[in-house]
Every structure is written in structure tokens, then in C-alpha cells.
Amino acid sequence: MVAEVLHFLVGGVPRATVVDMTLGAGGHTRALLDAGVGHVIGIDRDPDALALARERLAPFGERFRSVRTTFAEVDAGVTGGPVDGVLYDFGVSSMQLDTPERGFGYRADGPLDMRMAGAGADEPSAADLVNTLPEGELADLIFQLGDERRSRRIARAIVRRRPITTTDQLAGVIVGAVGRRPGGPHPARRTFQALRIAVNRETEELAASLPQAAGLLAPGGRVVTIAYHSVEDRIVKRAFREDDRLRVLTRKPVRPSDEEVARNPRSRSAILRAAERAEAAA
């Protein structure tokens, strides 16, 4: 949703500094720099993503700076002061999904990892959760973070088949538990989503980061979010509504166009929201 991001985040107004909280491979950052934003600070905890983005964005020189950290840890010390815009594009990048060694996807076999910070990170992997959580906790996690109505059946099957160490094993267990409808979405999709969110503490990171982002904005600065499922979107919607410093710009969420979905099927569930920092009180 690059065009929509530029509309809400730039909107024809000169923007000196924007923070891309979810840098990934740098697609949105490149678009912002091409649109005339003076300086973009790219945030990511994935070392592979940072390396790729730095290579791709090297032609922009000092207009781009990257920082390896989580977006809940971004403050004025990282940005150097107030900024004109903050962008979040939640979820997992195509680069991560398409790298089997990272363990994010179910279409190719790999270790069941899913840690954004990499396999060497000092935090539990998806395999750790799958193989150690009690059945009830695992079912609740899959239901709450994946919106998966068949979570109890899936959790029961996982516990029966443990230990599970690869993405292919887990996907096979899920298909065996709930079946697969021809032409429909893969039945493992929601469970993999739930595990990724839990491993990387994404909901906690988001809830902590949004108020901080509002505090970073200069008057008239904007924050734009792109969520991909209801859990993230509910957090954003509530944070925007309850923060007196923000004026909501999207009374209804913005969805991708039919043309974009046809070009990029992974965008079909995207939900964009935007808000603007109110002018400081006199």
C-alpha cells in the first residue's frame, strides 16, 4: 500500500524526518525518500533485513540511517528529537517467509524458529513453544493470536505428535488434524501467525510502542500503521482513539485496491490506519 502510505504520511507536505519502524527490505523507506522526505530512520531487529536494506538504500547516503532495535525501544535518543512521521508495517516480510532457514513459512521445510532477531537470539523459538507449552495454553495462544477457531483440535494433535522441530512437521500435523479444503487457504496459516506473534512478543511491542510514537511526533506529524489481522488492528484502533494527542484521520480503515491484491496476494488482509499529532496547547 505504498501509494496510501505516501498519501497519509507525506500528503504533499515537506517532511524532514520519518521513522520507518519496520524497515524490512526497505521498500517503504525507498518510496518515502523518493517522495522527498529529507531523512528516514529505519528500525529493525532482523540483522538480515538490515543488511539488505543498507545495501539497497546506499545510494541515498546520509538521508538514510538504520538502527537495530525493537520499535518499542525507539525514543528521542534514537531519533535525535521530534519527527514528522512514523510508519509501521506489521507482520512478516516476503524475504523472511521465502527463507526456509528462518522457519516463518509452511510452504518449504525448515527449522521451526520464527525469531525476528535471528536463530542466535536469546529468546524462545517457535519450537520451544510448540514442544513445552501445556495443551490448554497452546490452544489459547493459537486462538487468541491466530483467530483460529479449531485451536483446541490443533493443540491436541500437536501435543500428541511432540517433539516437532520443523515447519513441515508442524504443517503436516495441522493438516492431519483439520484437513485441507481444495483451493482454500493453507490450514496452518493462522497457527503459524500465532506462533510468530508470540515468539516475537509483537502485541506487547506494539502496545508499548504506539504511545511512544505519538510522543515522538512534532505537531502536525503523522503516524501510519498497516496491520494484517484483527489482533494488531484492535490495538492500533484503541491506541489512536484513547490518545488525546492524536486526531484520527481514518474513520474507516483503508484497504488495498483490487489491483494491488491481484499484483500482491499477500496484501489482501492489509488494514491501514492513520492519525495526526494535534497542535500543542497554547
Neighbours of 262 (CB within 10 A): 11
Query: Which phi-psi region, left, alpha or beta, contains residue 272 (left: φ > 0; alpha: ψ -120 to 50)?
Result: beta
Give me the pLDDT at residue 39, please.
97
Please report the DSSP string for 55-91 in residue order.
HHHGGGGGGEEEEES-GGG--HHHHTS-EEEEEEE-S
Q: Are 207 and 178 in contact (CB under 8 A)?
A: no
11 & 83 share domain: yes
| Helices 27-34, 2-9: inter-axial angle, 10-degree rounding | 50
Note the pLDDT tens digit of each residue in 211-268. Answer: 999 999 999 999 999 998 888 999 999 999 999 999 999 999 999 888 888 887 777 8
Instruction: Establish if 21 belongs to a structural domain.
Output: yes
13 & 89 share domain: yes
- Give SS3 for 117: coil
Model confidence at 280, pLDDT cuts 50, 70, 90, reads low
Sign of CA dihedral 161, 166, 170, 173: negative
Instruction: Establish if 107 belongs to a structural domain.
Output: no
Instruction: Establish if 134 belongs to a structural domain.
Output: yes
Given 199, 220, 238, the domain boundary residue is: 199
State the residue for C-alpha cell 527490505. Answer: 25
- Give SS3 for 278: coil
25 & 49 share domain: yes
CATH number, domain with residue 248: 3.40.50.150
C-alpha cell of 142?
493459537
Note the pLDDT tens digit of each residue in 28-50. Answer: 999 999 999 999 999 999 888 89
208 & 195 share domain: no
Neighbours of 179 (CB within 10 A): 10
C-alpha cell of 113?
524458529
Note the pLDDT tens digit of each residue in 161-207. Answer: 999 999 999 999 999 999 998 888 899 999 999 999 999 999 999 99
193 & 246 share domain: no
Q: Are 247 and 278 in contact (CB under 8 A)?
A: yes
Strand-pairing partners, residue 281, are none
Given 133, 167, 199, the domain boundary residue is: 199
Instruction: Establish if 105 belongs to a structural domain.
Output: no
226 & 262 share domain: yes
156 & 190 share domain: yes
DSSP class of 166: B
88 & 6 share domain: yes
Considering all CA atoms of the chain, what is the largest pairwise distance in Å, rounded to the nearest integer? 64
Instruction: Establish if 109 belongs to a structural domain.
Output: no
Instruction: Establish if 213 belongs to a structural domain.
Output: yes
Q: Are 79 and 55 in contact (CB under 8 A)?
A: no
Higher pLDDT, 264 or 128: 128
Instruction: Report the distance separating Cα 80 and Cα 162, nearest Å.
Output: 48
28 & 76 share domain: yes
154 & 195 share domain: yes
Reference 170, options 185, 182, 151, 157; nearest CA is 157
Model confidence at 66, pLDDT cuts 50, 70, 90, reads very high
Instruction: Establish if 143 belongs to a structural domain.
Output: yes
Instruction: Establish if 103 belongs to a structural domain.
Output: no
209 & 86 share domain: yes
pTM above 0.85, yes or no: yes
CATH number, domain with residue 172: 1.10.150.170
Model confidence at 281, pLDDT cuts 50, 70, 90, reads very low
Per the structure, how many domains does the chain have? 2
Given 149, 173, 199, the domain boundary residue is: 199
16 & 74 share domain: yes
CA distances, 165 to each of 92, 127, 132, 171, 195 (Å): 20, 6, 12, 11, 13
State which residues form the domain around 255.
2-94+202-277
